[in-house]
Structure 1
Amino acid sequence: MRIRQSILVLFFASFILLLSSYSQLFAGSSFKLQKGNILVYGHNLNEGDIGVPGLVFINKRGIFKTGRTWREIISRGQVNPSSHSWVSRYGSVTFNNFGKDFPDGGMNEAGLFIWAMNEEADYPKNDSLPKLNQKNWTQYILDNFSTTEEAIRSAYEFEIDGWSWHFFVGDAEGNTAAIAFINGEVVVHTGDEMPVPALFNSPYDREMELLKYFRGFGGEYEPDEKDPNVPRFVRTAVMIDNFNKGDDPVEYGFYMLKTLRIYDEPEWSVLFDARDRNVYFHTRENPERKVLVLDEIDFSNTEPAQVMNIAIRYKGNVLSLFEPYSKSIMYNFIKNELLPVLPRDFYTHGDLSGNEFTDRIVSHTDSYTDSANHFFKGTWRNITLVTENELNFSLKFEVVGSAVTAFILQSANDENYEVDNLQMIGRQFCFTFQTKSGKILEVKGHINDDKMHVQLFGIEDFYGEYTLKRAN
C-alpha cells in the first residue's frame, strides 16, 4: 500500500508538470499496418503503471450534439463557450476517460480512425471560427467524416482548446496523417510527407530526423526493434517493414504494441482491424483480450449509446456486456474512478470543486435534449412556385431525446420517405433518400431562421432549388 501511495504521489506531481510543460510521462503510440488487403490501426496508452480508468462507448448516428470548450467546462463562468452543433452521420466505437463525447480515440463505422497523443501544442487562435475542446473535436470528426482528407480539413475550421495533443488519423483506404498544432499553425504530414505511418510523442519532423541515423534509413546505428534505446518511431518503421502477408495481422499488431511499451505493460492496447471490422483491446489490469465486431453493432439511434468499463474482467466478444448510457453511470465513473487519480489542480484552477467538475462533465450532454436548441425541428413546407416539372414536398425533422430522424413528405403521390445519411453541421445539412422506383436522391440545404433553402440532386441530374418555410 505504501508503495502504491508513493506511486500516486509521484503521478500527481508529474501530472501537474504535464499541464504546464507537457512532459512525456503520458506516452502514446499509434501506427498503421497495411499490406495487400490487410489494414490495421493500433494504439498504446502508456502511463507509468497508474491504472488509468476508461469507458468504451458505442456512439450512435443521428444524434444531435452541441459542442463544448475546455474553458467552458472548468471555469465557473463557463468562459469561451462553444455554439457549434451537429447531427452525427456515423456511429463509432471510442475509448474515453473523461466523459461522453470526450474520447481519447476510436474508429467510426466508415473506417475512419483517430487517436491523440500528448505533445507540445499551440492551438491557433481565431475568434471567427467555431470553438471545440480537443476531445470534443475528436468525437466531431468520428461523427461526421469518413476520410483522412476531411479530418485534415476540419483542423483548419475550428478554434481548439484544451491540453497539448497531436493526432494520428487513418481511413478505410489506408490514407494517414499526423495533425499537429505548432506555433499557432496547423501542421500536417500526409501522403509522401508521411513515409512511416506512425506517431508518438514528438513532432513528426523530429522523428524523421532521428530515423536517418539508423541502418536501412541512411545511417549506421543498428535499429533493433526490441532495444528500448532505439526510438519507438524507428522500431516501428522496422517492424512495419518486417511484416509479411503471411503474418496474422492481429497477432503481429499486438506484438508491435507489446514491443513499444514504456515503463511496464501499457495501460491500454487497442487494435482496429479496418478490413475485418473488428476492435480488439486489453488493459494492463485485465490482459485478457476482448473483441467487438463492428458489423454486429446496431449504430442506429433507436436505442441510446452503449457503454462498458474498459477494465471489465472478460475474454472474447464483449458486445453483450454493454449497457445503455446514463448520467448515473458517468457520474459514478468520474466520482469513483477518475477523480481519485486526477490532481485537484487539474480542475480547481478553474475555481471548481470536485463535485462541480463532475457535474459539468456529466451534464454537458443535457443540451442535446433541450428542445430550445432544436432549431430544425418541425415540418418545413415547400413555398416555391411549383410548376408541372417541379416537386411539391415537405421535409419533417423529428427529435426524441437527442435522436433525430427526418422524412420527405410528397403530397402529389402521398408517399413518405425516411431519409438516410443525415448529416447536419451548424445550420448546413445534407441527406439522401431512395424513391419506391429505386432512384437515389440527395438533398443539400441550410436553415436561415424560419426558412430553409434546399437543392435536390439525382445521380446525374439536378432537380432544382426550393425554399421551404416552417409550418409548425
Structure 2
Amino acid sequence: MNTSVTAKGFTRYRTNNTMPGKMRIQQAIIALFVTSLFLLLPQHKGVLASSTFKLQKGNTLIYGHNINEGDIGVPGLVFINKRGMFKTGRTWSEIITRGRVNPSSHTWISRYGSVTFNNFGKDFPDGGVNEAGLFIWEMNEEADYPKNDSLPKLNQMNWMQYILDNYSTTEEAIRSATEFEIDGWSCHFFVGDAGGNTAAIAFINGQVVVHTGDEMPVPALFNAPYDRELELSKYFRGFGGEYQPNETDPNVPRFVRTAVMIDNYQKEDDPIDYGFYMLKTLRVFDDPEWSILFDARNRTVHFRTHINPERKTLMMDEIDFSNNEPAQVLNMATAFSGNIRSVFEPYTKSIMQYFISNELLPVLSRDFISHGDLSGKAFTERIVNHTDSYADSTNHFFKGTWESARTVDDDEPLYSINFDVEGSAVAAVIFLDSADEPYNVDNLTMSGNQFCFTFQTKSGKILEVKGTIRDDVMFVNLLGIEKSFGDYTLKRTH
C-alpha cells in the first residue's frame, strides 16, 4: 500500500492491496458506525445519492456533480439557453394539478446565456452553469420551503434557471433564496461562481439556511444537511477524530472522502481526469448516471453518462449565446465523444414531446405521476407547452416605444427606449437626445416590472439605465460610472 501524509494529516490511498490487521478492524468499526448513523438520517424515495463539489488549488477551479439513482438509466437533455429571452415562471403545483393550483405570475428577461442539464423540460434544469461562470445544482434532501404570499413564486428547478439567467455571483444567488416562494420536491442546493465562492443553500423549518465561507470548510454537498455532515466528519482524522479516512472506502462518508481527495490533488494531476476520478470514487450504487464537470478557468463543460460513457466536451467560448437563434438541445446519451458543439440542434416542442413520452415517463414512478391529478399524457403536455406563454403578446407589457416628457423649450424628446419582441427573444435600443442612430443596449435584464441595461455612447461612456414599468408609464434613472444623470418619466407612445 502506497501512502503519503499530507498537510492536514490525511493519508493518501491510491493502491490498497494489503491492509494491516489493526486497520482492517478500524475499517470494520467505521462501516458499522457509519451504517448505523445513515439509518438514523431521513431517507428519500428515488434519488438518494447525488454529489457536488468544488476542487480549487493553484490555477485549478473545477466544479463537479454526480447523479446516482441505482442504474435506472436517468435520461437527460443538454440545453444551450440564450440571453435576452422573455420568460414566464411556473410553480410545480401549477404544472401537475388540473386546476393549476398556486400559479406563478413572475416574468423575466435573461441577462446571461447558460448550459443546463435537464430531465423535466426546458427551463427546468437539474443544474448547470452560465456564461458568467455561475454554477448551481440541486440534491435531494428534506426541505421546508418558507411560505410568503407577498413574494413571487417559482418551482425549485425554475428558480435555478432564474438564477443562471440573471446572476453572476454566489452572493446574488444566496440573496435570491429569500426573494421567492419556492415549491417543488425537497432539495438543497450547491452554488459556486467564477471566483471560487461557494455556498450550500437549504430550507429548514421554514427558514433559509446558508453555509458559505468559513462555515463551509469542505466545498461539497450531498444528501444530508451540511451541519450533519460536519457532525459525522469529527470522528475522522483530519477533522479531529481517530478513524483514518480512505478516499476509496464507501463506508467513509462522501463528505469526508471528498475532503481527502481535494487535499490529495497534486499540481501534476490532470484536473479533468482527477475530477472524473473523484466523481467515480463518490459513486454509491453503480457507476453514476450522470457525471459532469465545469472547468471554470478554461470555461469548458465535460460530461459522461452511464448509458454512454464516452466523454463529451462543450467549450463555453465557442457558443453564441445571443438570441439571434433559438435555444439549442442535445440528448445527453448521444453516441458522440469529444467536442459536441456541432451536434446540437434547435430546440422544438416536438423534441421535448418525444423525450418525455419515450425516455422520461418510462423511468418515473407511478407515485410521482399521480402526485398531482394529471394523467401521464396531460403531464407531458403541461411540460411541453409551458413555454407557450413566452411568445404570447399579451404578456409583453414592456413592448413598444417609450419617450421621455417633452419640455416647453424643446419639442424633441430627451430620449426614447424601444423594446421589441420576436417570439420570446427581446431586443432593445435607446435614442439619446437628438442622435440620428440608436444605441444598442447590452446586459439587458428584467425581473417582474423592473429592468436594467447598459449602453455605450459614441464617446465611449458606459451608461446604465434602471427602470420600473407601471401600466403605460416608465420611471427610469440614467447613471454614469460615477454620477447620476437624473430621473426621467417615459410614456408609451406606440
Match of 1:7 in 2: none
Residue 177 of structure 1 aligns with which residue? Answer: 199
CA distance, structure 2, for counterparts of residue 263 and residue 386 of structure 1: 75
Tell me if 1:47 matches 2:81.
no
Matched, 1:89 2:111: yes
1:370 has 2:392 as partner: yes
Query: What code does the residue aligned with 2:447 have?
Result: I
Residue 429 of structure 2 corresponds to: 407
Distance 2:102 2:385 in 1: 18
Mapped to 2, the partners of 1:25 and 1:343 lie a distance apart of 12
Confirm whether residue 111 of structure 1 aligns to residue 97 of structure 2. no
Moved more, 20-29 or 295-304: 20-29
Within 5 A, what are the aligned runs for 1:186-197? 186-197=208-219
- Aligned positions of 1:376-395 closer than 5 A: 376-383=398-405, 385=407, 392-395=414-417
Cα distance in 1 for residues equivalent to 2:395 and 2:45: 40
Deviation at 1:413, TM superposition (A): 2.5
**Unpaired stretches in structure 1, ≥5 consecutive residues:** 1-19
Q: Closer, same or farther in 2 for the Cα pair 1:129/1:377, shift >3 Å?
A: same
Identical positions, percent: 75
SS in structure 1 at match of 2:294:
strand
1:330 alignment partner, SS class: helix
Q: Cα deviation per residue 1:407-441 (whole Å; 9 max; x = unaligned)?
A: 00235122211100000000010000011111111
Amino acid paired to 1:375 = F
Instruction: State the alpha-carbon separation in 2 of the partners of residues 124 and 194 from structure 1.
Output: 23
Query: 1:427 is matched by which residue type in structure 2?
Result: N
TM-score relative to the length of structure 1: 0.94
Quote the Cα distance in structure 2 between the aligned partners of 1:391 and 1:423: 24
Query: 1:344 and 2:366 equivalent?
Result: yes
State the distance in 1 between where 2:469 and 2:79 align.
31
Q: What residue is the counterpart of 2:157 in the other structure? A: 135
C-alpha separation in 2, matches of 1:386 and 1:257: 68
- Provide the residue aligned with 2:350 in structure 1: 328
**CA distance in structure 2 between the aligned counterparts of 1:401 and 1:470, rounded to whole angstroms:** 21
- Equivalent position of 1:145 in the other structure: 167
**Matched position secondary structure for 1:98:** coil
Separation in 1, partners of 2:408, 2:246: 72
**Matched ranges for 1:173-322 at <5 A:** 173-322=195-344
- Going from structure 1 to structure 2, the CA distance change for 1:386 and 1:365 (only over 3 Å counts) comes to farther
Structure 1 residues 346 and 139: alpha-carbon distance in aligned structure 2, compared to 1, 3 A threshold: same
Verify the 8 A CA contact 2:406 2:413 in the aligned structure 1: no
Map of 2:20 onto structure 1: none
Structure 1 residue 367 displacement after superposition:
0.5
Give the CA deviation at 1:151: 0.2
Q: Does 1:445 align with 2:458?
A: no
Aligned partners of 2:233 and 2:239 also within 8 Å: yes
Question: What is the CA deviation profile of residues 361-391 of structure 1, one whole-angstrom value per residue up to 9, with x for unaligned ones?
Answer: 0000000000000000000001164878x97
CA change 1:94–1:455 in 2 (3 A) is same
Q: Which runs of 4+ in 1 moved over 4 A?
A: none
- SS of equivalent to 2:434: coil
| SS of alignment partner, residue 421 of structure 2 | strand
In the alignment, which residue of structure 1 is the partner of 2:480? 458
* Alpha-carbon separation, structure 2, partners of 1:407 and 1:287: 46
Instruction: Give the structure 2 partner of residue 9 of structure 1.
Output: none
Q: Which runs of structure 2 are paired with 1:429-444 in the superposition (5 Å)?
A: 429-444=451-466
CA contact (8 A) 1:90 1:110 kept: yes
Q: Decide which moves more: 55-64 or 335-344.
A: 335-344
Q: Distance in 2 between matches of 1:320 and 1:340?
A: 29
Equivalent residues of 2:54, 2:62 under 8 A apart: yes
* Cα distance in 1 for residues equivalent to 2:349 and 2:278: 37
Opposite residue 127 of structure 2, the aligned amino acid is G
Q: Residue 25 of structure 1: CA displacement?
A: 4.1
Q: For residues 409 and 390 of structure 2, what CA distance do their matches in structure 1 show?
A: 39
Residues 224-277 of structure 1 deviation map (CA, whole Å, 9 limit, x = unaligned) = 000000000000001111112232111111110011011110000000001100
Q: How far apart are the structure 1 equivalents of 2:449 and 2:120?
A: 28
Distance 2:219 2:60 in 1: 14
Gaps of 5+ in 2: 1-41
Secondary structure of the corresponding residue to residue 58 of structure 1: strand
C-alpha distance in 1 between matches for 2:262 and 2:470: 51
- For residues 5-42 of structure 1, the C-alpha deviation after alignment (integer angstroms, 9 at most, x for no partner) is xxxxxxxxxxxxxxx96347431000000112211100
Cα gap change, 1:434 to 1:446, in 2 (>3 Å):
same
Partners of 1:67 and 1:24 lie apart in 2 by 26
- Structure 1 pair 342/24, CA: closer, same or farther in 2 (3 Å)? closer
Please tell me the root mean square deviation across aligned C-alpha atoms, in Å. Answer: 1.4
1:77, distance to aligned residue in structure 2 (A)? 0.5
1:456 and 1:37 map into 2 onto residues whose CA distance is: 39
Aligned residues: 452
1:445 Cα deviation after fit? 0.7
Distance 1:386 1:183, change over 3 A: farther
